């Protein structure tokens, strides 16, 4: 199986062209491939598939390192777009792709800078939580003997955003692990810790569902900015400072699509015997 290793701000991927390769990847095989000591090592596996829908150029599938298929990956979308261009799978500079639950438009801006139309943020909470009649911007989770206020939004995948004074001392791994598999989120949730510097700048750390903390999370950056904008805490264009680098998120509010712009990097090509 031929593949490429890529990353978006340190969030790393194994990208596989499934259009001209025929194979079956089980959860156990994906787990072995993702192992950083005995396999290739990655946060997510990205599959490039032919689309059966004439409205889309390609189908985009994402698997976490534990073998679970997930709905969305923003950093992965940028790497997916760059992979299509590097492998001459398309000559288009604007690519329409379908994902598990929605669609994306990936656009090459310059060199390795990629802009992605991430579609409209979804604040319809009943899609991914058991609780009803709650407000997305004033949601309380019982944590031991205290209540934690957080905000929830979907960018194709679910995110819980917590505002903190400083991300440096935020309990990302302990709190992220607790919330990720809380019983009120039957399918799990990504957990973002947001420090607001000013209306145009935030710092962010993300505990990703099934993965743990990563250097960067593109959909998490989109989710954090969306929450900040609906709460009138942020402007419509925000620079997000993640552990692996910076992303620019632009959103004009409810009813509009959200855009993410950032780099994608090709690391190497390889092949492995399954």
Task: Indicate if 125-256 has the same CATH topology as 2-117+263-271.
Answer: yes
> Is 160 an active-site residue?
no
219 is in an annotated binding site: yes
What count of other Cβ atoms lies within 10 Å of the Cβ of residue 145?
Answer: 5
Q: What is the pTM of this model?
A: 0.91
- Asked if 206 contacts 192 with a C-beta cutoff of 8 angstroms, the reply is yes
Question: What is the CATH architecture assignment of 125-256?
Answer: Roll (3.10)
* 24 token code pair: 């079956």
Report, as an integer, the average pLDDT of 44-55.
95
Q: Flag whether 64 is marked binding.
A: yes
CATH number belonging to domain 2-117+263-271: 3.10.310.10
Q: How confident is the model at residue 123 (pLDDT cuts 50, 70, 90)?
A: confident
Q: Is the pLDDT of residue 135 over 70?
A: no
The average pLDDT across 231-238 equals: 96
Do 148 and 161 touch, CB atoms closer than 8 A? no
From 79, 150, 160, 217, the catalytic residue: 217
Q: What letter would DSSP give residue 122? A: B
Structure confidence by residue, pLDDT tens digits, 4-39: 999 999 999 999 999 989 888 999 999 999 999 999
Q: What is the domain partition of the chain in residue ranges?
A: 2-117+263-271, 125-256
CB atoms within 10 A of CB 133: 6
List, for residues 65-78, the tens digit of each pLDDT value: 999 999 889 999 99
190 assigned ligand-binding residue: yes
73 a catalytic residue? yes
Q: How confident is the model at residue 145 (pLDDT cuts 50, 70, 90)?
A: low
Q: Are 224 and 194 in contact (CB under 8 A)?
A: yes
Q: At 201, is the secondary structure helix, strand, or coil? A: strand
């Amino acid at each position: 199986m031929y593949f490429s290793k890529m990353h978006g701000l340190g969030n790393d991927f194994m990208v596989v062209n499934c259009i001209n390769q025929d194979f079956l990847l089980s959860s156990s095989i994906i787990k072995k491939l993702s192992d950083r000591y005995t396999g290739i090592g990655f946060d997510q596996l990205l599959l490039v598939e032919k689309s059966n829908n004439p409205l889309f150029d390609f189908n985009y599938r994402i698997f976490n390192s534990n073998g679970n298929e997930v709905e969305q990956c923003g950093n992965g979308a940028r790497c997916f777009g760059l992979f299509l261009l590097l492998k001459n799978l398309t000559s288009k500079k604007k690519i329409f792709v379908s994902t598990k639950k929605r669609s994306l438009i990936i656009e090459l801006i310059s060199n390795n800078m990629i802009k992605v139309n991430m579609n409209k943020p979804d604040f319809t909470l009943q899609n991914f939580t058991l609780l009803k009649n709650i407000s997305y911007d004033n949601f309380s989770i019982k944590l031991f003997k205290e209540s934690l206020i957080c905000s929830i939004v979907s960018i194709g995948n679910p995110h819980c955003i917590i505002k903190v004074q400083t991300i440096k001392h935020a309990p990302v791994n302990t709190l992220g692990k607790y919330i990720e598999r809380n019983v009120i989120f039957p399918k799990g949730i990504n957990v973002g810790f947001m420090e607001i510097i000013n209306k145009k700048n935030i710092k962010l750390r993300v505990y990703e569902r099934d993965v743990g903390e990563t250097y960067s999370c593109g959909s998490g950056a989109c989710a954090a900015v969306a929450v900040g904008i609906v709460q009138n805490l942020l402007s419509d264009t925000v620079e997000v400072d993640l552990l692996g680098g910076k992303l620019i998120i632009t959103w004009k509010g409810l009813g509009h699509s959200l855009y993410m712009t950032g780099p994608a990097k090709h690391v190497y090509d390889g092949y492995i015997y399954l």
